[in-house]
Amino acid sequence: MQSIHGKVLAAVAAVAIVGGVGAAGAQTKVGVLLPYSGVFAALGQEIDDGFVFALEEAGRLDEFTLIREDTEVRPPEGLAKARKLVLQDEVDLIMGIVSSGVLAALRDFVTDSEVPLLVANAGEDSSTGENCSPYVIRVSFSNSQVNRPMGQWLYDQGYRRVYTLAPDYAAGQQMIATFRAGFEAAGGEIAGSEFTPFGRTQDYGPYITNARAAEPDAVFVFYAGSEAIAFVRQYDSFGMKEDIPLFGSGFLTSPLYVDAQGEAAIGVVASLHYVPTIDTPENNAFVEAFRARFDRTPSEYAVQGYDAGQVLMRALDAGADDRASLAREMPRVSYTGPRGPLEIDPLTNNIIQNIYVYDTVSDGAGGLTQEVLDVIERVQDEPMGCTLGQ
């Protein structure tokens, strides 16, 4: 008995020593800053899953120490957690950020403390525009990028008068302004435009009735999350979909929650940087592996987390081993992933990527799926005041 006990102890000690030696030096400390509670909790979890999946798939999970902190949707909370990650945990980089407000709050802190911030969602334009920073690298999208191609596209489809609706906050205004600029430049006319109180509008009936009264050829909206679910259902319940087709920024019918919209989402056309039905070998393999691991179809949020993991691993492979070299190497990564060719724009640190125009269709088995109608390749933002390239 005594000897067995001793052997076990010795074995445990040996494993511990070997493990300790093996891990030393190679560990990269990642501060994962996502909302794990509050309205964006589902998005946070999806990004986290995508990120971990990238490391797992590469068999490199043990090279990383992940320190997770919850930002909720509150900029002060996000900033406090970022300080903790940088000053106390001494992370090599921070990955995550769903809310644009949190991103704006973190920008000066990460720049001054020279910690790279790998943005896996927040699309606020100025973070890779006038307020860009060599330490803020975005692998998700910018609000302008997702919407700009849709103006020309709608015009090309024969729509001339479009009515717009969006929630009244920064992202809503940026998305609509970009769409509007593109549509008007193409020669279209905005029949009317309204912004609904953000987070306080549950019933869109009055706004939908206003839109109908303006007699547009089409309606273009940006809504996301629970607002998108309510809007798409209500738009359909008023019989609008048959008369005036609904277009939107792709988050409107995200695969993450399109099932909650049900048949009301069928026929809605939207633009986005990723849909699970992109038919490329890279994406087909990714979707299959993700489904096998999580038993669900990956959304654009999962892909953003996944690509954040890919960019990080490739920067390390290129020789990065501390904060400064990560900030230098991560923007140089380019590769072809689930959403197609991906590179970081040296002029802004924003991603350059394809934008997909898709509609939501029945999959024939009671569910919904996405059908890619068009691909607009290599959509790149203007520098918008960013001076990184100079």
Partner 1 sequence: MSGSAVFWITQLLNALQYSMLLFLLSIGLTVIFGLLHFVNLAHGALYAMGAYIGISLALRTGSYWVALVLAPVAVTLIGVVLYLLLIRRLRHAGPLSQVLVTFGLIFVFLDVIRILWGDIALGMDPPAALRGMTSIFGVRYPTYRLFIIGMGILIMVVLLVTLARSQIGAMIRAGVENDQMAACLGINVERLFFAVFCLGCALAGLAGVVAVPVLSATPGMGTDILIPALIVVVIGGLGSLHGAILGSFIVGFMATIGAVLLPGINSVLIFAALAAILVFRPQGLIPARG
What is residue 2's three-state secondary structure?
A: helix
Residue of 251, 283, 278, 279 whose CA lies nearest to 265 = 251
- Residues 141 and 353: beta-carbon distance below 8 Å: yes
Q: Exposed e or buried b for every residue in 261-283, given b needs 16+ CB within 10 A?
A: beebbbbbbbbbbbbbbbeeeeb
Chain position carrying tokens 């990004």: 47
Distance, in Å, from the CA atom of 55 to the CA atom of 58, rounded to the nearest integer, reads 5
Of the pair 190, 230, the CB lying nearest partner 1 is at 230
Q: Where on the chain is the footprint of partner 1 (CB under 8 A)?
A: 37, 39, 41-42, 45, 194-197, 199-200, 202-203, 205-207, 209-210, 212-213, 225-226, 229-230, 233-234, 237-239, 256-257, 260-264
| Shortest spacing between CB 262 and partner 1, in angstroms | 6
Distance, in Å, from the CA atom of 221 to the CA atom of 56, rounded to the nearest integer, reads 37
Of the pair 187, 206, the CB lying nearest partner 1 is at 206
| Shortest spacing between CB 20 and partner 1, in angstroms | 37
Of the pair 65, 210, the CB lying nearest partner 1 is at 210
Could you count the other beta carbons within 10 Å of the beta carbon of residue 202? 10
Provide the residue type at 61 as one letter: L
**Residue 144: exposure state from Cβ atoms within 10 A (0-12, 13-18, ≥19):** buried
| Shortest spacing between CB 182 and partner 1, in angstroms | 24
Of the pair 98, 154, the CB lying nearest partner 1 is at 98
| Shortest spacing between CB 210 and partner 1, in angstroms | 6
| Shortest spacing between CB 261 and partner 1, in angstroms | 6
For 87, which DSSP code? I
| Shortest spacing between CB 362 and partner 1, in angstroms | 15
Of the pair 102, 379, the CB lying nearest partner 1 is at 102
| Shortest spacing between CB 134 and partner 1, in angstroms | 34
**Strand-strand pairing, 351-362 and 269-272:** antiparallel
Of the pair 44, 331, the CB lying nearest partner 1 is at 44
Tokens linked to 117: 């911030």
Of the pair 32, 118, the CB lying nearest partner 1 is at 32
For 95, which DSSP code? E
